[in-house]
Protein backbone atom coordinates (compact mmCIF):
# COMPACT_ATOMS: atom_id res chain seq x y z
CA UNK A 1 0.00 0.00 0.00
CA UNK A 2 2.34 2.69 -1.25
CA UNK A 3 -0.25 5.47 -1.24
CA UNK A 4 -2.16 5.68 2.04
CA UNK A 5 -4.40 8.56 0.90
CA UNK A 6 -7.42 6.26 0.64
CA UNK A 7 -6.84 4.96 4.20
CA UNK A 8 -6.53 8.50 5.55
CA UNK A 9 -9.76 9.50 3.80
CA UNK A 10 -11.58 6.49 5.25
CA UNK A 11 -10.26 7.14 8.75
CA UNK A 12 -11.40 10.76 8.56
CA UNK A 13 -14.91 9.70 7.52
CA UNK A 14 -15.01 7.19 10.39
CA UNK A 15 -13.75 9.79 12.86
CA UNK A 16 -16.33 12.40 11.78
CA UNK A 17 -19.14 9.88 11.65
CA UNK A 18 -22.02 10.12 14.07
CA UNK A 19 -23.16 7.11 16.02
CA UNK A 20 -25.40 5.84 13.20
CA UNK A 21 -22.34 5.44 10.94
CA UNK A 22 -24.29 5.92 7.71
CA UNK A 23 -21.38 7.04 5.54
CA UNK A 24 -18.84 4.41 6.66
CA UNK A 25 -21.50 1.71 6.25
CA UNK A 26 -22.22 3.00 2.74
CA UNK A 27 -18.53 2.69 1.90
CA UNK A 28 -18.38 -0.82 3.38
CA UNK A 29 -21.38 -1.90 1.33
CA UNK A 30 -19.96 -0.43 -1.87
CA UNK A 31 -16.75 -2.35 -1.22
CA UNK A 32 -18.66 -5.54 -0.44
CA UNK A 33 -20.72 -5.34 -3.62
CA UNK A 34 -17.68 -4.51 -5.75
CA UNK A 35 -15.89 -7.52 -4.27
CA UNK A 36 -18.81 -9.85 -5.06
CA UNK A 37 -19.73 -8.55 -8.51
CA UNK A 38 -18.07 -6.44 -11.22
CA UNK A 39 -18.46 -2.77 -10.31
CA UNK A 40 -16.38 0.11 -11.65
CA UNK A 41 -15.72 2.21 -8.55
CA UNK A 42 -14.33 5.04 -10.70
CA UNK A 43 -17.80 5.43 -12.27
CA UNK A 44 -19.82 7.02 -9.46
CA UNK A 45 -23.09 6.93 -11.36
CA UNK A 46 -22.90 3.14 -11.60
CA UNK A 47 -23.36 2.78 -7.82
CA UNK A 48 -24.40 6.14 -6.33
CA UNK A 49 -28.11 5.33 -5.91
CA UNK A 50 -27.71 1.60 -5.35
CA UNK A 51 -25.22 2.22 -2.56
CA UNK A 52 -27.81 4.21 -0.60
CA UNK A 53 -30.21 1.28 -0.82
CA UNK A 54 -27.47 -1.16 0.29
CA UNK A 55 -26.58 1.12 3.21
CA UNK A 56 -30.21 1.53 4.27
CA UNK A 57 -30.79 -2.24 4.23
CA UNK A 58 -27.87 -2.72 6.60
CA UNK A 59 -28.57 0.22 8.92
CA UNK A 60 -32.20 -0.87 9.20
CA UNK A 61 -30.98 -4.26 10.41
CA UNK A 62 -28.22 -2.97 12.69
CA UNK A 63 -29.72 0.12 14.27
CA UNK A 64 -33.35 0.08 13.17
CA UNK A 65 -33.01 3.31 11.18
CA UNK A 66 -32.24 4.58 7.71
CA UNK A 67 -30.73 7.89 6.67
CA UNK A 68 -33.21 10.74 6.29
CA UNK A 69 -30.58 13.30 5.33
CA UNK A 70 -30.89 15.30 2.14
CA UNK A 71 -29.56 13.81 -1.09
CA UNK A 72 -26.91 16.52 -1.19
CA UNK A 73 -25.64 15.62 2.28
CA UNK A 74 -25.69 11.90 1.46
CA UNK A 75 -23.75 12.48 -1.76
CA UNK A 76 -21.03 14.61 -0.19
CA UNK A 77 -19.33 11.36 0.82
CA UNK A 78 -18.05 11.21 -2.78
CA UNK A 79 -16.62 14.74 -2.85
CA UNK A 80 -12.89 15.45 -3.14
CA UNK A 81 -12.55 16.19 0.58
CA UNK A 82 -14.10 12.84 1.58
CA UNK A 83 -13.96 9.63 -0.51
CA UNK A 84 -13.91 10.53 -4.22
CA UNK A 85 -14.34 7.67 -6.68
CA UNK A 86 -10.62 7.40 -7.53
CA UNK A 87 -9.76 6.83 -3.83
CA UNK A 88 -12.69 4.47 -3.41
CA UNK A 89 -11.39 2.48 -6.39
CA UNK A 90 -7.95 2.16 -4.73
CA UNK A 91 -9.60 1.10 -1.48
CA UNK A 92 -11.72 -1.39 -3.42
CA UNK A 93 -8.66 -3.00 -4.99
CA UNK A 94 -6.98 -3.34 -1.59
CA UNK A 95 -10.21 -4.76 -0.15
CA UNK A 96 -10.46 -7.37 -2.93
CA UNK A 97 -6.84 -8.45 -2.60
CA UNK A 98 -7.27 -8.87 1.16
CA UNK A 99 -10.68 -10.61 1.07
CA UNK A 100 -12.82 -7.86 2.61
CA UNK A 101 -10.42 -6.52 5.23
CA UNK A 102 -11.57 -2.92 4.71
CA UNK A 103 -15.20 -3.91 5.18
CA UNK A 104 -14.23 -5.66 8.41
CA UNK A 105 -12.25 -2.61 9.53
CA UNK A 106 -15.29 -0.37 9.03
CA UNK A 107 -17.65 -2.65 10.91
CA UNK A 108 -15.12 -3.12 13.73
CA UNK A 109 -14.92 0.68 13.98
CA UNK A 110 -18.72 0.79 14.21
CA UNK A 111 -18.57 -1.77 17.02
CA UNK A 112 -16.14 0.39 18.99
CA UNK A 113 -18.11 3.59 18.37
CA UNK A 114 -21.35 1.98 19.56
CA UNK A 115 -19.60 0.48 22.56
CA UNK A 116 -18.21 3.90 23.52
CA UNK A 117 -21.67 5.46 23.16
CA UNK A 118 -23.22 2.83 25.42
CA UNK A 119 -20.49 3.33 28.03
CA UNK A 120 -21.04 7.12 28.01
CA UNK A 121 -24.78 6.59 28.37
CA UNK A 122 -24.32 4.16 31.26
CA UNK A 123 -22.03 6.64 33.04
CA UNK A 124 -24.63 9.35 32.59
CA UNK A 125 -27.34 7.11 34.00
CA UNK A 126 -25.10 6.22 36.93
CA UNK A 127 -24.46 9.89 37.78
CA UNK A 128 -28.18 10.69 37.53
CA UNK A 129 -29.03 7.86 39.91
CA UNK A 130 -26.56 8.82 42.63
CA UNK A 131 -28.18 10.09 45.83
CA UNK A 132 -27.35 13.69 46.74
pLDDT tens for residues 81-98? 999 999 999 999 999 999
The C-alpha atoms of residue 65 and residue 1 are separated, in whole angstroms, by 35
Q: Which of 2-16, 30-44, 53-67 has the lowest mean pLDDT?
A: 2-16
**Using only C-alpha atoms, what is the Rg of the chain?**
16
The C-alpha atoms of residue 75 and residue 49 are separated, in whole angstroms, by 9
Do residues 85 and 42 lie in contact, with contact meaning Cβ atoms separated by under 8 Å?
yes
Q: What percent of the chain has pLDDT over 70?
A: 95
43-87: pLDDT as tens digits:
999 999 999 999 999 999 988 999 998 888 888 999 999 999 999
Confidence of residue 3 (pLDDT cuts 50, 70, 90): low
b/e burial code for range 100-120 (CB count within 10 A of at least 16 → b): eebbebbbebbeebeeeeeee
Q: Note the pTM of the prediction, 2 decimals.
A: 0.85
Amino acid sequence: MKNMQHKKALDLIIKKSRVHFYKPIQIAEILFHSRKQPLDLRDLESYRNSSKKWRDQITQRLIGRISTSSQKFQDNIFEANAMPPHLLAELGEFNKIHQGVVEAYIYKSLHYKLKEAVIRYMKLLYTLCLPL
